[in-house]
Structure 1
Amino acid sequence: IQSDRLPVYYKYAEQLLREGNAYVCVCQPEQFRKRILKSSPCSCRDLSPEEQLERWRLMLEGGYSEGQAVVRVKTDLMHPNPAVRDWPALRIIDTEKYPHPRVGSKFRVWPLYNMAAGIDDHLMGVTHVIRGKEHLTNQVRQEYMYKHLGWSYPEAIHYGRLKITGAFLSKSKIVQGMQEGVYKGWDDPRLATFAALRKRGITPAAIKKMIIDVGPKTADVTLSWENLYAYNRKLLDPQSDRYFFVSDPVELRVKNVPKALTVKLPLHPEKPERGFREYSVTPEGDDSVACFWIAKKDADAAKMGEMLRLIELFNVKIESATANSLEAQFSSIAYEDARKAKAKLIHWILKGTEVPCQVVMPDAAVSSGFAENACKRLKPNTIIQFERFGFVRIDKNDAELVVYYTHK
């Protein structure tokens, strides 16, 4: 903890001052800035080490107030980047007015980033520094200090930003949005924070693999959401069990079902060892009717006289439609009949076994519908695939199933 290491930083500050490689500057900031832009030294720079150490003592003991003195590390005043020239290493903080949360007002001179981080890296044996390219100038600054102290600078790797098209990452705007009630929290699905990605079911392994494949580049890299989804899909597809979900449910009544049927739906199409979901369909009444829920988009697309196949169950032909239901006639059981007729395969849920389900989409909209009964046993944080809909992460599973949409 850097606030516990102030004496360490003081030790090296005094060494730099004693050896003539740093100085205490009492110039007005604007005056110093004008000089440094002209590569001209200020009058403080050439004072003797003894005078510098006396000024340092005054900094420590209260002889200067906040803003009146800073310790600067000497660099090349002709360096092409003015930000490198004689950079500030330590400054005074009025800790009586602004006490530190850990050490209170015990110290009044505090190191800035380049001095504290640079010294820590050396003393802690850091061999490789990996950080954003915005720190390239900081490396140049720290190299001057390392040279003054007789140290070798560690291997430094700088990388550009990895951006996702349309991703919203501004922390200040996110906080403002939460305060105004626009976002529910850091895990709001409209955001691209790690918390939001985790809630949607984007795995750490997918993010890691994508970053490794992109590699450290000094140039900024912009990817699409589809790039990330492709990595995530490759990981989720072999391990996610399949279930049915119908959004905006519409009733499908199938007449003349010839007998009771038991259907076994595989949890994974390529892994029979994972098991099955099993449902019994028993026709009722004089018309031998079996009732199902299907998705509204499938109901809207159905045409009169057209054959549809209820996945893994049987084939039906549409007879009539209303705003809230479809009437159909049992056609056959064989999948081959559906294939020959080029029938559309649709998912379904047996009426009376449905589980109310809310799917929170990436834009925070909610898709309401029914999930199949087997979903009752699923635990929160499980990632599954709703067939013909997409991958989802289970968020809550009590009286109602609440899931977050991941991607197709």
Structure 2
Amino acid sequence: MERELRERVERAAETAALFNALKHDSDAQVGAIMGPMMGENPDFRPHGDEILGVIAPVIEAVNERSTSEQRDRLEELAPERLEELAAEEHEDNQRLPDLPNADSYGEIRMRLAPNPNGPWHLGSARMPAVIGTYKHLYDGWMLCRFDDTDPETKRPDLDAYDEILSSIEYLGFEPDDVVKASDRVETYYEHARRLIDEGGAYTCSCDGASFSALKNDGEACPHRDKDRQTTHAEFEAMVDGEYDAGEMVLRVRTDIEHKNPALRDWVAFRMVDTPHPRPEAESYRCWPMLDFQSGIDDHEFGITHIVRGIDLQDSAKRQEFVYDYFGWEYPEVLHWGHVQLDAYDVELSTSTIKELVAEGSLDGWDDPRAPTVASLRRRGVRGEAIVEAMVGLGTSTSNVDLAMSSIYAENRDLIDDDADRLFFVRDGIETPIDGAPETAEPPVHPDHADRGRRHIPVGGAVRIEPDDVPDAGETVWLKGLGPVRYDGDTFEVTDDDIAIVREGDVNVIHWVPADGSIPLRLRTMNGDEIGRAEPGIGAYDPDDVVQFERIGFARIDRHDGEESVAYFAHP
């Protein structure tokens, strides 16, 4: 390669690598650079074999630079690309509204508050997607707090703690701290005692129906004016487990005539007979309600901004009574509506998915039919695609519809360059072929000539999909092999050229050899599809993502003795 051309290649590769690294906040990849660079510089194409060796060390050097060094170098090489990057970043940032009063805080501190009663469905991913993005935008701090103080109605699943943390990592975020509320029960007891001292709480032994009737009439229960000494004694009896469930509660004293009955003297602690599943917490019987526990934790961890569902508006109002007693300032709050998904027959509900898994209707949380984070992960969808789609919903207080096609579109942009092409034929029809070459050589990737070609032995017969069987006398083009005419029984190779395809008279179809192809089970949202894949599929490792031509993208899951298994991602 001539020196002048080599210098142009190096400059183009460095510019593209710098832009790619800064845009994705990760190392630039050769595969992501090569295709676009060759497309933008047609005169590079005849030197494709040499160019790979030229650009690899350039990209490696870019990846060794710090982010600030990368920005400085891109400004030096191509300031217009840095402006383009800034415009894209600004556009991305505008998808979320500014946090209210953000300038009033030295550090933005936000929290994820998952209930670990099961792994995450897709709706759960919205919280880390938005809060994690805010953390990056404001260079803030993020807590993952497991709200697991309900050992009965939303009983924690011991496996869910690690599964949720794994999902957060898969989505591209890392909490600055992780805590379990069930480890902090003594802290909640101390605040309850202090609240009693402040005159803000009292113990109540009214049954639920009786108190509800009084509350709805704006009348105080007979225990509301008991002295603090008695309240302390009865609360300590609760802590010691001396009451049964429903026998005694601790209430926050609010306004018994408040216009919203839901805010009148709400329950802060109750007795629960069911032991907590965590050994560290199984001895406790007196448990805080979520509004009390969450309110205390938000203050203790210095949370500045809370994002929660519109259905939880009363939570902030309840907690503000406690904050007023303690003289605390309440965090800023953003409320949003629920996410509704299309494309799934399964309800977006942890309890529903649990039931379906337990009864065997779903194979597990990562079943391709399940609307879960684990399912999309196993199907080969990148966490970044989910985040982009979720952030794109904004923070509207109205319920929002999330089309799975938006996640698929984001993912397609991320994986298309890296996904090698393969043939997979479902329910194949075996057809003899005459005059074919011994080996067909379709490209590994149509946009990346540097990756070479696949070598597929043809043999004496091929398999094609039933819908692709032509009429007798019709010609079709077998991808990577060439034109063949069907006589009603056999394919015969013809000497036609690609012009018959360009003119639109001939269909292009995929195929696999009848001998040597590999049995493949493709797991999809609509059930398993059985067929055969070209022999080269055996060279791909689990987690590799490929594109089955004319079908779609899929993640290789495993190679068993009798078959290979892949999970369908999307078209």
Per the normalisation by structure 2, the TM-score is: 0.63
User: Counterpart of 1:324?
Assistant: none
> For structure 1, which segment, 248-257 or 67-76, has the greater mean C-alpha deviation from structure 2 after superposition?
248-257
User: Counterpart of 2:481?
Assistant: 313
- 1:328–1:60: structure 2 CA closer, same or farther, 3 Å change rule? closer
Q: CA deviation at 1:208?
A: 0.9
Q: CA deviation at 1:292?
A: 2.2
Structure 2 residue matching 1:17: 3-state secondary structure: helix
- 1:30–1:16: structure 2 CA closer, same or farther, 3 Å change rule? same
- Mapped pair 1:369 → 2:531: yes
User: Counterpart of 1:272?
Assistant: 449
4+ residue runs over 6 A deviation = 97-100
- 1:82–1:318: structure 2 CA closer, same or farther, 3 Å change rule? same
Q: CA deviation at 1:151?
A: 0.4
Q: CA deviation at 1:140?
A: 0.9
For the 8 Å contact 1:307–1:338, the answer to whether it is kept is no
- Mapped pair 1:404 → 2:567: yes
Q: Distance in 2 between matches of 1:122 and 1:386?
A: 52
For the 8 Å contact 1:59–1:69, the answer to whether it is kept is yes
- Mapped pair 1:304 → 2:467: no
Per-residue deviation, residues 1-21 of structure 1 (Å, max 9, x unmatched): 434433322222222222222
- 1:380–1:15: structure 2 CA closer, same or farther, 3 Å change rule? same
Q: CA deviation at 1:209?
A: 0.8
User: Counterpart of 1:285?
Assistant: none
User: Counterpart of 1:143?
Assistant: 320
Q: CA deviation at 1:94?
A: 5.2
Q: CA deviation at 1:262?
A: 5.3
**Which one of 268, 288, 306 corresponds to residue 111 of structure 1?**
288
- Mapped pair 1:355 → 2:514: no
For the 8 Å contact 1:20–1:48, the answer to whether it is kept is no
- Mapped pair 1:18 → 2:197: yes
Q: CA deviation at 1:219?
A: 1.8
Flag structure 2 segments of 5+ consecutive residues without an equivalent. Answer: 1-179
User: How big is the alpha-carbon RMSD for the aligned residues of Structure 1 and Structure 2?
Assistant: 2.6
- Mapped pair 1:384 → 2:546: yes
> For structure 1, which segment, 387-396 or 312-321, has the greater mean C-alpha deviation from structure 2 after superposition?
312-321
For the 8 Å contact 1:25–1:45, the answer to whether it is kept is yes
For the 8 Å contact 1:24–1:72, the answer to whether it is kept is yes
Structure with greater proportional strand content: 1
- AA aligned opposite 1:142: Q
Q: Structure 2 matches for 1:100-249, cutoff 5 A? A: 101-105=279-283, 107-167=284-344, 168=346, 169-249=348-428
**Which one of 249, 256, 260 corresponds to residue 77 of structure 1?**
256
- 1:2–1:293: structure 2 CA closer, same or farther, 3 Å change rule? closer
Q: CA deviation at 1:54?
A: 4.3
For the 8 Å contact 1:245–1:371, the answer to whether it is kept is yes
Q: Distance in 1 between matches of 2:455 and 2:243?
A: 81
Flag structure 1 segments of 5+ consecutive residues without an equivalent. Answer: 283-289, 322-326
- AA aligned opposite 1:129: I
Structure 2 residue matching 1:276: 3-state secondary structure: coil
- AA aligned opposite 1:292: V
- AA aligned opposite 2:474: E
Q: CA deviation at 1:228?
A: 2.8
Q: Distance in 2 between matches of 1:180 and 1:61?
A: 39
Structure 1 residue matching 2:392: 3-state secondary structure: helix
Structure with greater proportional helix content: 2
Q: Which has the larger radius of gyration?
A: 1
Q: CA deviation at 1:385?
A: 0.6
Q: CA deviation at 1:213?
A: 0.6
- AA aligned opposite 1:381: D
Per-residue deviation, residues 203-242 of structure 1 (Å, max 9, x unmatched): 2121111001112222221233333322222322222111
User: Counterpart of 1:292?
Assistant: 462
User: Counterpart of 1:329?
Assistant: 492
Structure 2 residue matching 1:34: 3-state secondary structure: helix
Q: Distance in 1 between matches of 2:456 and 2:276?
A: 68
Structure 2 residue matching 1:156: 3-state secondary structure: strand
**Which one of 200, 215, 218 corresponds to residue 36 of structure 1?**
215
- AA aligned opposite 1:249: G
- 1:42–1:271: structure 2 CA closer, same or farther, 3 Å change rule? same
